Structures are given as structure tokens and as C-alpha cells.
Structure 1
């Protein structure tokens, strides 16, 4: 079994980005992301409706960090501490040396390579620091943006599950991409 430790919290840096811990001062940005139906259209989770819901989401993220169940970072540009997205190893399976990566970005920043840059850094952290063997991403089949990002980052399509998730009265397909630590 893997031994993982997130203390002190690992800030990550790329050419343009600083990935830092999400905190309560990010509540308005988290609310803007998690309450926006367009941003959430490929994420089968209930929209947050209030600032308190967004604070609960931040508390859940930090609880997962404390309990070594997952780690998420605020995506920020180096020239501004403002959260523009969230990325992380959403679910860690230490017994399988595997984690699930997930991410979201404010639409204003789409098409600029930001998620690709962040994914590459979070994958590098997963392999080099967490000592993962593989990382998976579970996406909606029609999420072309995520498909392109994952393929650009070296992920390979592993599976397409038909109607394997039930959300808001509908059955949804899931596609799994993964990358192995070579």
C-alpha cells in the first residue's frame, strides 16, 4: 500500500501557473464554477445554490486532503492569486497505486492550454511524489475538450461504459482514460 502525505501542502508551479491550496477566501470563485450549469454540464454533480454550499464544497476538499483520500489545488495564474479553476487527484486508491484526476476551469480561460499545463504538473506530482502507478480520468463521451486535453497529456482511452451512472433522472455513459507511470 502507498504511503502518502500532504503535509506540508505541496504548492505546484508551472511556467504560467501556481497550483495552491483552496481556502475559504476562494468561496466566490468556487461558487461561480460549481453553480454554473455550462461549466458543470459534463460533471454529474448537483449545482451549488448558495455561498454556504460552496463553503461546504471547500470543506469537503480540505477534509479529503486531511484524510489522504484526495488532493485538489486552486488553479491560479502566477500574476494573480484568484482561483480560475480546480484540479486534483479527486479520488485516491492507495491499494491500487491509482488516483482519479479531475478538473474544471472558468470558461474565460478555455482554449489557452491552462488545463493541459495543470494536468501535466498534477500527473508529474502523482507519479514522482505520490508514487502512483496509474492515473485515470472519467469523462462524459461528448466532452471533446477533455478528450483533447487527456490525449495531449498522454492518456489512453481504456473503456466506454454504457449508462453506468444515474443522475437527475437519466442514465449517463462514462469514458475512462488513463496513463501509466513508465
Structure 2
């Protein structure tokens, strides 16, 4: 999980209606042991990753109490090695109740997008994620909570535009 756990979990636990996540990078945390293992044989063993099941259980709990969780990913095509991996593991997110869509970057040229990935909770609280140039999580200042209505409106509008244009996970084939 990218966001600092206490803040992230607190925001999810307080969430009542919706949590949306916009991802716009072509690589995240290349040092992630699950990604490193996948690179060796292109197989995914979710049971072997001790961090994976708690996330799935948490998402199942959140969705089970009526929160709609949507994740949209803007990706360059042909996709990066990391995005190929991410696509391979996304079935688990979907089984836990997340809705996931993919948008080719070339189809996003006319969209106004924020400069960073984010989670938006109930269209009221924004959690901005900060990564370094290699896609590694910034250990200090990795998240920023924003409540400015103008920024929230920008991010909500951006997510909506991406979501409307993006392809559902079950129909997306990485190019």
C-alpha cells in the first residue's frame, strides 16, 4: 500500500459513499518484492505475499459497508513492464469489490489532469500521493491531505472524465 497506513486507513474508515483513485504513472515501486518475483516468471502467487491479503480483506470490508471504490489508471502504450504486472494482479482488486478501468494516455490529451495521483473520499477529502522519479514511495511527505474545495473539484472532475472514457478492466488488453 502506497499511502502512509494510519492516514490512509483513517480516511477509508471514515468514508461513507465513495473512494476514487487516479493513477497516472507507468511505474510504481520497482523494488516491490511482488513485482520483482513476477518479473522472474510472470506468475502471480497472491497467497505468497503477506501484504496482499490484508488489502483485499480491507477492500472487501469497505465495499461491504456500501462504499463504492473505483480506480482509474492512465497508462502509456505499449505498456511498461510494471503496468503489465499491475494488470496481472488487478483481478484480485476486482474480486475484493473494486471497480477498475484503464485509459490509454493518448486518449487523455484533452483532459485537464492534476499533477499527482490521488485518492478522493466522499468528494470531500483528497489524499495526494507523492513518488520520486523512479516511482518509489517518498518516505517523508509521501502523502498530503487536501481539503481545498477548488482542488477537490478539479480532482473529482478529472477522475470523472477519465472514468467515463476508460475501458473496464475485464475488457482491457495491455498493448
So what's the TM-score if we normalise by structure 1? 0.33
Looking at secondary structure, tell me which structure has more helix per residue: 2
So what's the TM-score if we normalise by structure 2? 0.34
Looking at secondary structure, tell me which structure has more strand per residue: 1
Does 1 or 2 have the higher relative contact order (CA < 8 Å, sep 6+)? 2
